[in-house]
Amino acid sequence: MLRRLIVGNWKMHKTISQAESLINDILKIYQPHPSVELAVAPPFVALQAASRLLAVTSIKLTAQNVCAKDEGAFTGEISPPMLREVGCHYVIIGHSERRHIFGETDQDINEKIHAALRHSLLPVLCVGERLEERQANQTQSIIQHQLQTGLDGLQSKDLAHITIAYEPVWAIGTGHAATLDQAAEVHAHIRSSLAKQWGINPDQTRVVYGGSVSPDNAQMLFQSPQINGALVGKACLNSESFVKIAKLATSD
């Protein structure tokens, strides 16, 4: 089985000093396990402080977003080389809040994926349907479209560096996670469509679930071998609940 990845997406929470406290609290109680990889995604301004604290640990630094350009007149943006130099390993791309609040298009997301890979940042590509799309039975076609456009122009070998996060929009921040069956069904669909499109082994693609993951439902979700980890929002802002989720993800 693939190593599970648990990413804490802090969103727009924590100042630099608060970020240092949270990371120190995580480090106090986290016991690494070979079956799980832990990653945290603080806001941009806290990356450097987080990087210093994580330098001698196995916890991977992650950015919440990236610009598709390497440098230039792009006020307010942060480039892939900047993220590399500060110590980022992963970058979240195409989160539903970026898509729906900030109007990121599939084309923008595709450019960011290419830019990240050019600079050896590993993308965590988020895909997911809205409630009305699920109700209209469009879940599979929406996901298929997001995968196809998001990954357009990549080669099969690039897929080994990509993690897909299935995050149904209706489950994010609502306290209503997908059921095991709902998540496992979409994960299987993601795997088979990537295998079909890229000719890769479906078991080699890491697909994590996101949307109201908590210590209360993580065990249920991790029952499925289809679920290779979690992208955690609210529950990652507390060291105990975040570390508990990581612990529930371990396997022998």
Region near ligand PGA per CB under 6 A, out of 19-27, 77-85, 166-174, 240-248: 166-174
132 in active site: no
Q: Which of 88, 38, 16, 20 is nearest to 232 (CA)?
A: 38
Residue in 6, 8, 9, 38 binding ligand PGA, rule: CB under 6 A: 9
Q: DSSP class of residue 89?
A: E
Q: Which residues lie below 8 Å from residue 180, measured CB to CB, with a gap of 6+?
A: 220, 221, 223, 224
CA 124, 49, 20: angle at the middle one, nearest 5?
A: 95
189 in active site: no
Confirm or reject binding of residue 178 to ligand PGA (CB under 6 A).
no
Cα separation, 49 vs 20, in Å, equals 7
Residue in 66, 88, 116, 232 binding ligand PGA, rule: CB under 6 A: 232
Region near ligand PGA per CB under 6 A, out of 13-21, 25-33, 190-198, 210-218: 210-218
The neighbour count for residue 187, using CB atoms within 10 Å, is 22
Name the minimum Å distance from CB 70 to ligand PGA. 27
Q: Which is nearer to ligand PGA, 34 or 175 (CB)?
A: 175
Active site positions, annotated: 95, 167
Give residues in contact with ligand PGA (CB under 6 A): 9, 167, 172-173, 210-213, 231-235
